[in-house]
Chain A
């Protein structure tokens, strides 16, 4: 009897713990003395480890469920601000589940990779890092628009500091640019949320911020022409700006290269690995189900912008001399695939998009870690400065080849599965656009091969004769991510099984509104 009750309590608080544990870790750090750097850093790592363990548990349990839908045993809801009908409501399904898992893993790796960065102003760094982790987890599990917005914004602040204090030479500019861009997006997003809130009343005429109820109301209202397509078009646009800036979709991507290049390695990892996914997640979770007709109207535009991003991002990457900037632009290009899959709105497209989110999270994190490894030793990121490292640094070479090939979409690795699914999903819908995006793939292959060649092959530059290979700690951060890339490349079903029911449900709903 008691056991069952404890178990139920655990299930209900599990998703809350995902963000509460990091917050708790942050509070503990605040109580520690400033000088106890070791203890502070260990607290950060342990808190991240705990969050990662919890998120892994969530992912495994989701996988074991016959149908990973939102109304599972973790769904929890309690009134927060009854005066404005705000619920604290959390839940995971096949769409947010993988993202929660990704956040857990990538953040733990980033926490371990922070070991040296965090020496400077340790207390502040570790607290902010954990706050960032809490914000990300909260955003992915929130099922109430208000709560979602709060977490979305909470995440902004630590990111600003993490770039601004521990970043590169242009850090202040990059930090404020990131902050203002994202804030601009989110205030418009808020206007969109409020229109939804006031417009989509429950059947009993009460107002709600609950995403699930709003989705249901939106579909009914759309069927009965109570939620005009014109209004939906603008609401989707308002929210879309917020999401698109985060993704970032072309032409809102200009903050990304600055932020990525200036941020310290672990923060670049989090930015690319998790933060970008929030934008696309917003489309999956809020943009599509809550404004179905708006999404329908915007889909072709999104597809076109996605293809532009794919090609443009790849081209820019090709032109970069800075290793980190190259990886940053490759993110623009790869996130374009997610948006293309989203725009297609087929089971394969959406599945592929989600898969790409996860795969890109793992692969890009690896790439940024690898850039960091090189930069820590050589203090330069100039691609032309290196050469012939392949023979000197075998472990580094192995990791880099694996990560880059995965990024390129080599069969057998996760990137391939994702891109293939996106193409097969988008082809029937937007044939010409999809064909165009193949150009992006070619350019991607070009810059990746060029980069591998410039760094690993060619004559060895004697300047680097004292470079050391990957250390144990660095290997520890890279290994799980690379392992995930390989495993998901060979057994994509592991992830697809979790995603499938939610994606199928989304496609079914949306198909009722297709033209």
Chain B
């Protein structure tokens, strides 16, 4: 049995999420006392920045912690840094987001900071119980954040839809957990792997995995569990939309990676599994891209685009090659963090100026604010995967993974080539709707009485950080790639 002092020792691995949890509670408490929401922004920024700094400390343990609930390895640390960084940028973005009611800023920040801690916990969970708990922690905080605009019908409605869909997916996932528990006799991921390693699998496990995919697929916005995305994205406060598209998606991918890499190799029919995931990925990106083409609302468009991006990342899973899949997924997510948050910064500025978020509101932006227009252009270009920007490095890795899988004659090798072709075709479709935005910004002229957008300090900082890092990942990817490959899961 593990003693109390040893548990206390293990606490040091949980410093980043500990800090965030404390900060979240302190913010909520302060909010009760001071009633001045805006003064809490520095505290939230300090907390997220501090969590990022703590997560950067090389504190790792390959041993299971807290009775096997948690494994605070390099992989988890990567997602801790990721989540804290995303949180920092989202807090910056929230500062100048006008529709946010000032009275409730404290609650908003408190819940946001707690949600970040949930992502961190999700990334390091190695037990089905812990996975369920942290996933629900993240989901519940997200439901509240989506419905945060108290006087906005859309926000409330988005929240309800998100909630209903999420609760359903969670229930299905839990049933999957139950089946997996039944098939293996344990909730512990390594134990489940060991149980599967030396015997034939039953259809029961197959069903279990399908059900579990529902829960994770919901978080990453995989088709057919994507239905909530457009509505929740449109209705949510824009910084929260950005958070959902980057933060909770990354959390979903983290847990998906961990479950894939620990449980799947033991399954004797895992090639079929990968084919299923691949086909779902192709559906995900195709559905996202095709529907995005006809969207006029920027947030909805970026929502469908984020479905499509989830499809790209999922394709990275298909090969299951340790040296490629993980770096591919992780570097893609890193680039995606900066380019997508950057795009949402511009959306916030536009919404602050015109009160809406339609593509038309961007008309003639290049004349009104060249900085914003060109930044948005860079982010969209990166999302479209055009070199030499961050998104391109991510997409390159996905392509490389698929081609490598094809050439090495892995099971279903020919399928990989078709996946690569599907990705290629989808890249072109995606370019079409990203360039609809570009067209509005550069080729069209501003309507009368369209004000010049004003970008305040916090938004400007977020914009520059995203811009510089989007370029950095693309032009000088070596340090990022080194970092990512060092942080990959140890191959079991």
Contact = CB atoms under 8 A, between A and B. Distances in A.
A22 to B, nearest CB: 16
A83 B387 contact: no
A150 B481 CA distance: 18
A81 B425 CA distance: 27
Contacts of A183: 386, 427-428, 431
Given A150-B387, A191-B420, A179 B481 contact: no
B188 to A, nearest CB: 34
A195 B407 contact: yes
19 contacts: A80-B478, A81-B477, A81-B481, A157-B381, A161-B442, A164-B439, A164-B443, A172-B439, A172-B443, A176-B435, A179-B431, A184-B428, A190-B424, A191-B420, A194-B399, A194-B404, A195-B403, A197-B403, A198-B407
Interface of A is mostly: helix
B404 A198 contact: yes
B62 interface: no
A80 B478 CA distance: 8
A82 B478 contact: yes
Contacts of A84: 396, 400, 481
A454 B477 CA distance: 57
Interface string A306-336: 0000000000000000000000000000000
Interface in B410-431: 420-421, 423-425, 427-428, 431
Contacts of A83: 477-478, 481-482, 485
B257 to A, nearest CB: 19
Interface residues of A, number: 33
Given A83-B477, A83-B481, A194-B399, A150 B388 contact: yes
A188 interface: yes
A156 B385 CA distance: 13
A176 B439 contact: yes
Contacts of A188: 421, 424
A149 B396 CA distance: 11
B137 interface: no
Closest 3 CB pairs of A and B: A187-B424, A83-B481, A194-B403
A199 interface: yes
A187 B403 contact: no
Interface of B: 366, 370, 381, 386-388, 392, 396, 399-400, 403-404, 406-407, 420-421, 423-425, 427-428, 431-432, 435, 439, 442-443, 477-478, 481-482, 485
A287 B370 CA distance: 40
A194 B366 CA distance: 37
A82 B400 CA distance: 15
Give the residue among B403, B439, B485 with the most A Cβ atoms within 10 A. B403
Contacts of B427: 183, 187
Contacts of B435: 160, 176, 179
Interface in A80-133: 80-84, 124
A124 B370 CA distance: 10
Contacts of B481: 81, 83-84
A441 interface: no
B278 to A, nearest CB: 16
A187 B428 contact: yes
Nearest to B397: A84
B399 A190 contact: yes
Nearest to B381: A157
Contact of A191 (B386, B399, B431, B482): B399
Contacts of A175: 443
A165 to B, nearest CB: 6
Contacts of B485: 83
A190 B387 CA distance: 12
A11 interface: no
B361 to A, nearest CB: 19
Contacts of A198: 400, 403-404, 407
B164 to A, nearest CB: 38
Contacts of A195: 403, 406-407
Nearest to B435: A176
Given A165-B442, A187-B427, 12 more contacts: A83-B478, A154-B388, A156-B386, A161-B442, A176-B432, A180-B432, A183-B386, A188-B421, A190-B399, A191-B399, A191-B424, A198-B404
B437 to A, nearest CB: 12
B359 to A, nearest CB: 14
Contacts of B381: 157
A228 to B, nearest CB: 11
A149 B428 contact: no
Interface in A158-217: 160-161, 164-165, 171-172, 175-176, 179-180, 183-184, 187-188, 190-191, 194-195, 197-199
B217 to A, nearest CB: 26
A177 to B, nearest CB: 10
A153 interface: yes
Given A157-B386, A195-B407, A180 B431 contact: yes
A198 B413 CA distance: 14
Contacts of B424: 184, 187-188, 190-191
A195 B421 CA distance: 13
A315 B392 CA distance: 41
A153 B474 CA distance: 13
Contacts of A184: 424-425, 428
B400 to A, nearest CB: 6
B428 A180 contact: yes
A175 B428 CA distance: 14
Nearest to A199: B407
Nearest to A176: B435
A153 B427 CA distance: 13
A135 B381 CA distance: 16
Contacts of B477: 81, 83
Give the residue among B387, B435, B439, B482 with the most A Cβ atoms within 10 A. B387
A338 B482 CA distance: 44
Give the residue among A164, A171, A194 with the most B Cβ atoms within 10 A. A194
A165 B440 CA distance: 11
Contacts of A197: 400, 403
Give the residue among A80, A191, A197, A198 with the most B Cβ atoms within 10 A. A191
Contacts of B425: 184, 187
A175 to B, nearest CB: 8
A183 B395 CA distance: 14
Contacts of A160: 435
Contacts of B392: 153
Contacts of B439: 164, 172, 176
A151 B189 CA distance: 46
A276 to B, nearest CB: 21
Interface in A455-504: none
B78 to A, nearest CB: 16
A171 B443 CA distance: 9
B247 to A, nearest CB: 26
Interface string A54-69: 0000000000000000
Contact of B442 (A80, A150, A153, A164): A164
A153 to B, nearest CB: 5
B260 to A, nearest CB: 23
B386 A153 contact: yes
A149 B387 contact: yes
Contacts of B428: 180, 183-184, 187
Give the residue among A149, A164, A165, A187 with the most B Cβ atoms within 10 A. A187
A109 to B, nearest CB: 26
A232 B428 CA distance: 25
Contacts of B406: 195
Contacts of B366: 124
A229 to B, nearest CB: 16
A199 B418 CA distance: 18
Contacts of B388: 150, 154
A84 B399 CA distance: 13
A165 B425 CA distance: 27
Interface string A143-155: 0000001100110
A165 B438 CA distance: 11
Contacts of B407: 195, 198-199
